[in-house]
Amino acid sequence: MSTLKAVRGTRDLLPPETALWTRIEETARRVFARYNFGEIRTPVFEDTSLFARSVGEETDIVSKEMYTWEDRARAASEKAQSLTLRPENTAGVVRAYIEHKLGETGQLQKLFYIGPQFRRERPQKGRYRQFSQIGAEVIGPQSSGSESPLRDAEILEMLATLLDELGISGWTLHINSVGSSADRAHYNEVLRAALVDLAPKMCVDCQRRAVTNPLRVLDCKVPEDQPIIETLPKIVDSLDEESKQHLAAVTAALDAAGVPYTRNHRLVRGLDYYTRTTFEFTHGGLGAQNALLGGGRYDGLSEAIGGPKAPGIGFAMGEDRLVLTLQAQEAAQAEKIDAYIAPLGESLNPAALALARELRRAGLSVELGDGSFRLKKSFEAADKAARRIVILGEDELQSGILTVKDFATGTQTKVPRAELAEFLRKPGGE
Ligand code: AMP
């Protein structure tokens, strides 16, 4: 008899990895609470038409990736129904918002969820058929301020904070606007026209998309198609004045809060319901599946599934990908030495040697910089080799209080010399 295994694209999570999952979820819950989000738990399966009407018939998710089955009637009182394992959670949250008349409270609803999603994709690193998303939605009647660009900026600022608190370094926030549904329709036509001549030179998927859903051409990853895609018209030129102002207000608020971002004209996202702001956080360490999370505004979604007007914005982060990123970072950390000593000026070289001797005798692995290095050079060398850098200047020497920076967290701490060895012995990144 053949041995049974977990189904392709699904995985068992075992200790000690599960401890990391718990830590991520606890951090997310803590951050969500600080921003006044409450938890929502919707069913794992829904009526198939919910996804067809919200995510969109033409999307890859609905057209080929859903786990759908016909649920037969078991009694005369029951109807046969087509059901689907949820491929994403926004549609379920908005359905619940409508079903429970949450709009009638007049309040902005700030809801988060954590749970499994299902898509029949081709499995690879960072892409599974059952995966977990941590997501949140901000939705409400227009009078609750749900359409304000401040909501977009607040969500993005929260995500930057959450990734920092998780200890994920080196992320990039990409931001774009897909405009109103009229802007999108207009842009789709502009693209369709531009693709008439270009599509035959592109991959087969793009040839199909050029006809069925031209916007998706921008998602193409085939290297040969990239130069062609770069020449296509940009959506920003199809935006109406209000959408342009909305985007400008989002980026102005991000600038004020000091959240770094880059404008990405090709970011149109895979789901049909997005309007105006779309965004993605990527991480270089993830390889081909480099999106940590994605999201955007969906001002018409509630109406599209039969509800009242309820503008909203939300995101979903791939928890599996957070785990992969943190594991890679922690492995890189583990290979590093304990500390790098950076003397500030050549006159401090002797004192730096004395300090290195002290720490090495205490059993620590230490690299010694040189006082002739500029501080930037010391930091770069230290970041490659060590978990922490110890800065030794005149002040530090006189006061006996050293400045230590932890590269994983970015935190800087003042440590008395007598406690330094003990401090550096801690694993770091905490
Ligand atoms: P989406 O719902 O497609 O916007 O995806 C949001 C985030 O969920 C992505 O940025 C990924 O981090 C994650 N994600 C989407 N699909 C998968 C998958 N098949 N396996 C693992 N993570 C996924």
Do residues 267 and 402 share a domain? no
Q: How many domains does the chain have?
A: 2
Pair (280, 406) in one structural domain: no
pLDDT per residue as tens digits for the range 68-88: 999 988 888 888 999 999 999
On whether both 316 and 419 belong to a single domain, the answer is no
Q: Write down the pLDDT at residue 290.
A: 87
CA distance linking residue 83 with residue 99, whole number of Å: 18
Arithmetic mean of pLDDT, 27-31: 98
Q: Is the CB of 219 under 6 A from ligand 1?
A: no
Is ligand 1 within 6 A of the CB of residue 187? no
| Segment 117-159, tens digit of pLDDT | 999 999 999 999 999 999 999 999 999 999 999 999 999 999 9
Residue 391 has pLDDT above 90, yes or no: yes
- In this predicted structure, what is the pLDDT of residue 212? 84
CA 133 to chain centre: 10
Query: Which one of 328, 345, 361 terminates a domain?
Result: 328
- What is the spatial distance between Cα 184 and Cα 28, in angstroms, rounded to a whole number? 33
Last residue of a domain, one of 275, 307, 328: 328
Q: Which residue has a Cα nearest atom 13 of ligand 1?
A: 318
CA distances (Å), 402 to each of 395, 428, 429, in order?
9, 17, 18
Greater confidence (175 vs 430) lies with: 175
65's CB contacts (< 8 A; 6+ apart) are 87, 119, 120, 121
Lookup result for tokens 């949140």: 136
Query: What is the average pLDDT across 241-255?
Result: 97
Q: Which atom of ligand 1 is nearest to the CA of 280?
A: 10
Does a structural domain hold residue 226? no
What is the model's pLDDT at position 113? 98
Residue after which a domain boundary falls, among 284, 312, 328: 328
Distance CA 331, CA 309 (A): 48
- Residue 199 located in a structural domain: no
pLDDT bucket at 428, cuts 50 / 70 / 90: low
Whether the per-residue pLDDT at 245 is higher than 60: the answer is: yes
Determine the distance separating the centroid of ligand 1 and the alpha carbon of 136, expressed in angstroms. Answer: 14
CB of 293 closer than 6 A to ligand 1? yes
In the block, residue with structure tokens 């000593």:
341
The amino acid sitting at 68 is: T
User: Are the C-beta atoms of residues 283 and 290 closer than 8 Å to each other?
Assistant: yes
Domain match, 296 and 358 both: no
**In ligand 1, which atom is closest to the CA atom of 121?**
19
Q: What is the pLDDT of residue 71?
A: 92
- Does some domain include residue 361? yes
Q: What pLDDT band is residue 60 in, cutting at 50, 70 and 90?
A: confident
Give the closest residue to 356 by CA, choosing from 372, 346, 343, 347: 343
* pLDDT attached to residue 219: 84
Residues 269 and 299 in one domain: yes
Distance CA 124, CA 137 (A): 28
pTM of the model: 0.83
CATH number at residue 99: 3.30.930.10
- Atom 20 in ligand 1: which residue has the minimum CA distance? 127
Q: Whole-angstrom Cα distance, residue 387 to residue 408?
A: 7
Q: Report the alpha-carbon distance of residue 295 to residue 288 in Å, rounded.
A: 19
Residues 129 and 259 in one domain: yes
Q: For ligand 1, atom 15, which residue shows the shortest CA distance?
A: 318
Tens digit of each residue's pLDDT (9 = 90 or more) over 162-219: 999 999 988 999 999 999 888 888 998 999 999 999 999 999 999 998 988 888 899 8
**Which ligand 1 atom sits nearest the alpha carbon of residue 317?**
7
Residues 289 and 415 in one domain: no
Report the pLDDT averaged over residues 263-292: 86
Is 1 among the domain residues? no
Residues 322 and 344 grouped into a single domain: no
Q: Is residue 11 part of a domain?
A: no
Residues 312 and 345 in one domain: no
Same domain, 135 and 155: yes
CB 133 near ligand 1, within 6 Å: yes
358 Cβ below 6 A of ligand 1: no
Q: What is the CATH number of the domain that holds 365?
A: 3.40.50.800
Which amino acid makes up residue 383? D
pLDDT one-digit tens code per residue, 324-381: 999 988 888 788 999 999 999 999 999 999 999 999 999 999 999 999 999 999 999 9
Range of the domain at 402: 336-425
Is residue 133 one of the residues assigned to a domain?
yes
Q: What is the pLDDT of residue 429?
A: 54
| Within a domain: 274 | yes
Question: Which of 30-44, 333-347, 379-393 is modeled with the greatest confidence?
Answer: 30-44
Q: How far is CA 30 from the centre of its chain?
A: 17
Residue 99 has pLDDT above 90, yes or no: yes
User: Would you say residue 231 lies in a domain?
Assistant: no
Are 99 and 150 in a shared domain? yes
Predicted pLDDT at 304: 92
pLDDT exceeds cutoff 70 at 270: no
Shared domain for 314 and 340, answered yes or no, is no
In whole numbers, what is the pLDDT of the chain averaged over residues? 93
